[in-house]
Amino acid sequence: MAKEIEKNNSRAADEVVRCLAAKIQAGDYPDGSPLPAERSLMEEYNISRTVVREAVQALSRQGLLQARPRYRPVVRKPGYDAAISALENVVTHLLNDHAGVRNLFDTRIMIEVSLVRHAATHADKNDIAALNAALAENEAAIPDSDLFYQTDKAFHAVLYDIARNPVLPAIHRAYATWLEPQWSQMPRLPERNAENYQAHRRIYDAILLRDPDLAEQCLREHLTSAWEQVCRTFGEKP
């Protein structure tokens, strides 16, 4: 009997998920608006609180809702960030072991290699100015490791912006979120910050020279060194 009830609840939740997802995509529930209260959903769909909560969890996994304890879920407009956020549970599982972190980091290298090559051949004066400004903030933050980490992310974010593809900034934000638990456990060392800043400087200079091969080489050296820093921190083999 318990299994039958659970099965029926799952079917009901699936139907509610389809209905709510359709309303979100149609704009009936605008981006940033709270989802109707549990009681309202229970009455509208003639379902239990358990089914409502199961449907909310499913929509959250799809990136269509942002759910927090003790707050009403908030609607998220379907988009690249929402689509990538839907992968969070899978990625979190992958990050439970060293090989999973390495695989994720390797995909970042592959993407950023393409980005620096593109920047070296296509960056305009505004892109160069944005990179230069990010680099200057990165240098100024060397003594402050927490601030340096933020400016490090900002420098790489500019590379993702240059391609003018809205998917790429969403990917960068996802990488920053997924990998932050590893970076946050690393020792805060100004000398390491200075080393990473110099790596950013070499990438910038290669882009300024319009040399995609050199830009790729500098990027690979930088991220390879960054990975070695992670491995030393956690006592892992590169």
**pLDDT (tens digit, 9 = 90+) per residue, 20-67?**
988 988 889 998 899 999 999 999 999 999 999 999 988 887 778 888
Query: Is a pLDDT exceeding 70 seen at residue 90?
Result: no
**What's the rounded Cα separation, in Å, for the pair 17 and 191?**
51
Please give the pLDDT value at position 208.
97
Q: Residue 86 has what pLDDT?
A: 57
Least confident of 3-7, 20-24, 78-82: 3-7
Going from N- to C-terminal start, the domains of the chain cover: 2-77, 88-234
Name which residue leads in pLDDT, 175 or 153: 153
- Name the average pLDDT for the chain: 85
- Alpha carbon distance 41, 46 (integer Å): 8
What pLDDT shows up at residue 2? 35
Determine the average pLDDT of the residues in 152-176. Answer: 91
pLDDT of residue 220: 97
Give domain 88-234's CATH superfamily.
GntR ligand-binding domain-like (1.20.120.530)
Tell me, what's the pLDDT at 3?
A: 40
What is the per-residue pLDDT for 31? 87
Decide whether 2-77 matches 88-234 in CATH topology: no
Would you say 221 and 107 are in contact if contact means Cβ atoms under 8 Å apart? no
Cα dihedral: 58, 64, 65, 66 (round 10): 110
Task: Look at the domain 2-77 and name its fold.
Answer: Arc Repressor Mutant, subunit A (1.10.10)
Question: Does the reported pTM lie above 0.75?
Answer: no
